[in-house]
Structure 1
Amino acid sequence: MVHKTRVYNWYICLVAAGCMVLMGYDASVFNSVQNSDNWHAYFENPNSYMLGLMNTVYTVGGIITGWFFAGPLADYLGRRWAMGIGCFITIIATFIQCFPPPSNPVPAFMAGRVLIGMGQALAIAAGPIYIGEVTPSYIRGLVMAFWQMFYSVGSFVAYWVNYAAGKHRDELGEWDWKMVVIFQLLLPIVIISQLPFMPESPRWLIQRRDDVDGARKVLAQVRDTEHEIESELLTIREAIQFEKEALDHGKRAYMTLVKDASIRKRLLLTFVLNIGQQLTGQGTFNSYSSTIYQKIWPDGDTINLINALNATFGILFTLNATWTVDRFGRKFLLIVGAIGMAVCMLITALVGLQTPSTAEGAKTQPVGIAIVFLMFLFAFFYKPSWGATVWIYTAEVFPMNVRAQAVGMCSQMQGVANTIFQQFFPTFYENEGLKSFFFFMTCNVFLAAFVWFLIPETKKVALEEMDTLFGGQSHVSHGAILMQQAKQGQFEVDGEERGVGGDGDKGVEVAAAEQNAGAKQ
């Protein structure tokens, strides 16, 4: 029988994972509305350059917010408040995007997308941190797999709403695209309504407020045994004690990312992983599949249906991460995923280039079906690997003192890559067609080699032990010594007041602390 604490643990983690729906929905919204003639008419028929600009402008707000504000906000106000504020900004931005003034709609729509980027940056930085900090290490990969799955849930809702609206385009008029945009309100409202029923991260409570009793109460809600609670609580306190005293947390958090060799190494590796997530081709495909399919299928309803089915299968494909990520490890999934995607991109390009086209310039139906199948197969390799596993890896490798800042920056490296590739891809594809897929194939080959040679495995490693894995100091072991020294100092003060204590006692205490630290190493 499943313990009630495990059920509650899953509930709060799935609410936090809902923040990823915001990103998945928004990425799919713009792709969806591009297939609406009413949308094109409302926004004065933007050319390929303007399409790229309207799609990627939201990353400007996301990059700035993710790099400089998401981490400090999550550290100062807490993980829950950061998620809540991000969702609230998304709600405001949705109304701006849905109801831009008809006389000059483009600037208002783009302003709404900038705000969407800001809200998403706050939410998607705090969400995975929260999940990682309240989840036991032995199921952390399993739970975090749902983070990426919820991206697919966002796409699923967006594409099926768009498909339904497209079937009634004549009756809906402009609401055929506004209906798709306004549905983005749904999940932010649900998340905000659930946040009051969720506890704050126990690690944040100790780090920010030194609230050991509060952290113990939170762990009691999400851990099965008293031993598990006290053991994890001690480990958290020891790690944070070291980070506060030895690493001067709170004063130079961003400088630590640069100065500490072990953390700098992790930052650079996760930067490449997050940029690589976009280099696979999935981000571009998710935003411009309608443009790609228009050269294969002339019927808009068919394209909407394909996108909706792709999002549906994306949910099922992501579920593969739930049973593979903690069984086979992060490296295995990343390497297999990259190789599989490279093969899919190669075959897709060859099929498209080596087959004849109809008089109208479109592909025959059998060729179109083959290309769609290959794109679905591409998603099969992407979703559990470079989709889910990159987020899992990013959220778990950093120490508490820089985790919020690092995750915020890493997640927005996706935004940086997204801005570059989404801006030039419409023109690139317009000029080169399916030849552009060779570029993504090559990127996937290099990403597989990068992971093989440079990425350490983190399967089932406790958050507080990541520093040792990456060649840094053990925050837990050194924190244990600092805590024992602090206790010894208090013992000496009390001993002098009572006329007891001495160097002999101190030697015993420090020796015990060092022995404890050695055992943990």
Structure 2
Amino acid sequence: MSFDMGSKRAYNWFISLVAAACMVLYGYDASVFNSVQGSDNWMAYFNQPNAATIGSINTAYTVGAIFGGFFVGGPVADYLGRKVGMATGCVLVIAATFMQTFAPRHSLACFLAGRCIIGIGQGIALTAGPIYIGELAPPEIRGKIMTFWQMFYSVGSFICFWINYACTKHVERLGEWDWKLVVIFQLLVPILIVALLPTMPGSPRWFIKRGNNIEKARSALRRVRESEEEVEDEILQIREAIEYEKEAISGNYSALWKDKSLRKRMLLALVINAGQQLTGQGSLNSYSTKIYKKVFSSDSQIALINALNATFGILFTLNAVWIVDRFGRKFLLIVGGIGMGICMIIVSAVETETPNLADGAKSMPVGISTVFLLFLFIFFYKPSWGATVWIWTSEVFSMNVRAQAVGMASQTQNVANTIFQQFFPIFLDNDGFYAFYMFAGINFLLAVFVYFFIPETKQVPLEEIDALFGGANHVVQGEEVLAHQKGMQISSEVREVNDKPDAVTIENVSTR
């Protein structure tokens, strides 16, 4: 397949967006179970499950996602390839979607098992996707492309909310399919990804690391780089970095705790990924209806606000496309943290310092102000702690541990969210909007943490990123390793020639 210079950049965007579509799976699924719980037909189909049972279904998904991300995603992406990782995750989501949609009547166990398998599939796909993007995208547009990773989460929520809204308008005609249609539409994106994966090149870094297959790596890079010179330069950089990692660090995951620089990166990645869920976004996602019921009395108003929230989430994330590579990751995380903290302080003050109406709700001006401030919170969150955390996490780890480290760091979001959501509803019930002052404090602390501890990775080549964390430059060190190996090889060849008996004769003859 041949590409001219313009179409190569377009093709780079195409393959990256297909990989980023793995995040649609996550966004859709985050909304689908919340949606079906509102269906009387779903409740009747599964014998009116109580709150504890519904909580167990949520937990089954989370446990599956953590297991997939921590223990399966890294090895699959490393040993079978990034594309195989994405495909495996999508196939599991497809199979589990059928399990949920066609679960026998009253068989909640089948539905619950489907939720767990979907979690495993997403854990695997969400590990492979950002690594693939990071390894194929050129440094100058890597941040822009990774922005779409977070945006596609909002796209998934958007699709689900509006499908659910359409189904709620035709409940009598659809019957049980009012919830089954919402679930089965989850097939759409994973089938599309699986169909498009064969048209995409493999990761050149994976080709060289797994089998030292330089020709396949070169072929993959030729499809996404503008010139032969770029291809050869990048091949050399990858080889040098991988050689150094094998010689000086470790070829396996043990480097994550053996190497001081990698330990530091892992700790920073765990903190900011957990921090992403502690900003307040995780709670807004899971409990937006419960939160808005403290302000609004109309269910239809709340449903409309939730749908608009998903829609604006897409638009707000797009802001990162033009600012993430212009202002950098660190700047966005700091500004986002401060902006979210201010929003949380004001929304807490507006709600707690104004009187309630007779029905327990707030006046319309207070309601509008609350919605505006929470939408403003999303405006700050989406391009910063939403998109940028994923970007930073996917680009800071060296090749030898990248898949495992990204999988573990990203699933810390689920771990933090699971723990936090155990007590937040109680906090909200007991203290109302005073709970949001806690989020304000967390956001300011996160901004301070980033200022002091997170280095800027804007437009830094992946193979040279180690130097930012007190490690060696893997390209420079790898150059020395390769040069040493080449010298040893030449010395060995010279010795072999001189050790042959006829070599002495030839040498003697040539000196006469």
* TM beyond 0.5: yes
Distance 2:487 2:174 in 1: 74
Distance 1:158 1:2, change over 3 A: farther
1:140 partner amino acid: R
Partner-residue secondary structure (3-state), 2:491: helix
1:165 partner amino acid: C
Asked if the contact 2:249–2:259 (Cα under 8 Å) also holds between the matched residues in 1, the reply is no
Matched with 2:24 is 21
Q: TM-score, normalised by structure 1?
A: 0.91
Please say if 1:301 is aligned against 2:300: yes
Please say if 1:165 is aligned against 2:167: yes
Displacement of 1:439: 1.9
Alignment of 1:106-255 (within 5 A): 107-249=109-251, 253-255=252-254
Distance 1:133 1:407 in 2: 13
Matched with 1:505 is none
Distance 2:59 2:422 in 1: 6
- Percent of counterpart pairs with the same letter? 60
Asked if the contact 2:297–2:359 (Cα under 8 Å) also holds between the matched residues in 1, the reply is no
Matched with 2:504 is none
Matched with 1:470 is 469
- Aligned-CA RMSD value: 1.8
Please say if 1:70 is aligned against 2:73: yes
1:30 partner amino acid: F
Task: State how many pairs are aligned.
Answer: 496
Distance 1:436 1:41, change over 3 A: farther
1:9 partner amino acid: N
Q: TM-score, normalised by structure 2?
A: 0.93
Distance 1:281 1:93, change over 3 A: same
Distance 1:430 1:104, change over 3 A: farther
Asked if the contact 1:317–1:379 (Cα under 8 Å) also holds between the matched residues in 2, the reply is yes
Q: Unaligned stretches of 5+ in structure 2?
A: 500-512
1:294 partner amino acid: K
Asked if the contact 1:337–1:382 (Cα under 8 Å) also holds between the matched residues in 2, the reply is yes
Displacement of 1:284: 1.8
Matched with 1:345 is 344
Matched with 1:326 is 325
1:224 partner amino acid: E
Asked if the contact 1:59–1:418 (Cα under 8 Å) also holds between the matched residues in 2, the reply is no
List, as ranges, runs of 4+ consecutive aligned residues in structure 1 with deviation greater than 6 Å: none
Matched with 1:87 is 90
1:56 partner amino acid: T
Deviates more, 1:282-291 or 1:4-13: 282-291
Displacement of 1:287: 1.9
Please say if 1:492 is aligned against 2:491: yes
Asked if the contact 2:45–2:106 (Cα under 8 Å) also holds between the matched residues in 1, the reply is no
Distance 1:296 1:54 in 2: 28
Distance 2:147 2:347 in 1: 28
Superposed CA offset, 1:405-447 (max 9, x none): 1001001101101211233333332333222222212211111
Matched with 2:59 is 56
1:103 partner amino acid: H
Distance 1:357 1:149, change over 3 A: same
Displacement of 1:457: 0.8
Matched with 2:412 is 413
Matched with 1:452 is 451
2:71 partner amino acid: F
Q: Unaligned stretches of 5+ in structure 1?
A: 501-521
Matched with 1:12 is 15
Asked if the contact 2:338–2:444 (Cα under 8 Å) also holds between the matched residues in 1, the reply is yes
Superposed CA offset, 1:57-77 (max 9, x none): 311111122111111110000
Displacement of 1:116: 1.3
Superposed CA offset, 1:190-244 (max 9, x none): 0000011111100000000111011111111100011111111100000011112
Distance 2:361 2:105 in 1: 34
Deviates more, 1:172-181 or 1:20-29: 172-181
Distance 1:473 1:282, change over 3 A: same
Distance 1:369 1:50, change over 3 A: farther
2:256 partner amino acid: L
